[in-house]
């Protein structure tokens, strides 16, 4: 089963969001809330902390709009160095399958063939998981009907297999979608 990291990839979420346009910290949080699934939600403190760190590393720049400081909010923009860091991460091998899903959110920054390769590899891992779970289901089925744990083990295995099936379906749907869209700046 895929677990979404709480804050492990906050820096790349913030960089990816800023890759769409310059924003204030509140706009970044709103963008994440409005467009990401709930499992990728990162809190205000995480966004603020990530922005500070990214600014210190030279990956984002804080712009101070003119006017009354009490009324104007700082606007952050991704730097050239930030864009390179985002590209490096997007093109790097994934540490886990949840990272594939996060990278798909910013897939328009990847070469189409590389994104397809990542999704195909994800689908293959899920298909392999289904085969492993089916073998476990066979072992569970071989337990005596009097084994009190049998229905619970079966239920857990069914949850895992149904999740993997849904993920295989998602990967196939995503691959089909990738065949129909034009990537910005790619031909």
- Which CA distances in Å does 140 have to 143, 147, 157? 5, 10, 9
Rg for the chain (alpha carbons), in Å?
Answer: 21
Backbone angles phi, psi at 51, to 5 degrees: -60, -45
Q: What percent of the chain has pLDDT over 70?
A: 87
pLDDT of 2: 45
The architecture CATH gives domain 10-93: Orthogonal Bundle (1.10)
Q: How far is Cα 95 from Cα 60, in angstroms, rounded to an integer? A: 24
Confidence of residue 184 (pLDDT cuts 50, 70, 90): low
pLDDT digits (tens, 9 = 90+) for 6-20: 556 889 999 999 999
Q: For the whole model, what pTM was predicted?
A: 0.81
Of the ranges 8-17, 32-41, 149-158, 168-177, which one carries the lowest mean pLDDT score?
32-41
Residue 68 pLDDT class (50, 70, 90 cuts): low
What are the pLDDT digits (tens) for 72-117?
688 999 999 999 999 999 999 988 888 888 898 888 888 899 999 9
Domain spans of the chain, in order of start: 10-93, 111-180
Q: State percent of the chain over pLDDT 90.
A: 65
* DSSP per residue, 100-154: HHHHHHTGGGS-HHHHHHHHHHHHHHHHHHHHHHHHHHHHHHTS-TT-TTHHHHH
């Amino acid at each position: 089963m895929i677990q979404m990291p709480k804050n492990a990839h906050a820096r790349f979420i913030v960089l990816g969001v800023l890759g769409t346009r310059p924003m204030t910290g509140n706009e970044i949080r709103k963008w994440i809330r409005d467009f990401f699934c709930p499992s990728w939600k990162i809190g205000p403190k995480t966004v603020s902390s990530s922005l500070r760190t990214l600014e210190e590393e030279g990956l984002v720049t804080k712009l101070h709009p003119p006017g009354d400081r009490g009324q104007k909010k700082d606007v952050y923009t991704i730097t050239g160095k930030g864009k390179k860091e985002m590209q490096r991460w997007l093109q790097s091998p994934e540490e886990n399958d949840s990272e594939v899903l996060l990278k798909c959110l910013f897939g328009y920054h990847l070469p189409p063939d590389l994104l397809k390769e990542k999704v195909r590899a994800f689908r293959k891992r899920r298909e392999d998981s289904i085969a492993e779970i089916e073998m476990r289901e066979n072992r569970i089925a071989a337990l005596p009907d009097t084994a009190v744990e049998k229905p619970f083990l079966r239920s857990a295995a069914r949850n895992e297999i149904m999740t993997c099936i849904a993920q295989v379906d998602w990967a196939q749907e995503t691959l089909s979608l990738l065949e129909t869209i034009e990537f910005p700046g790619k031909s």
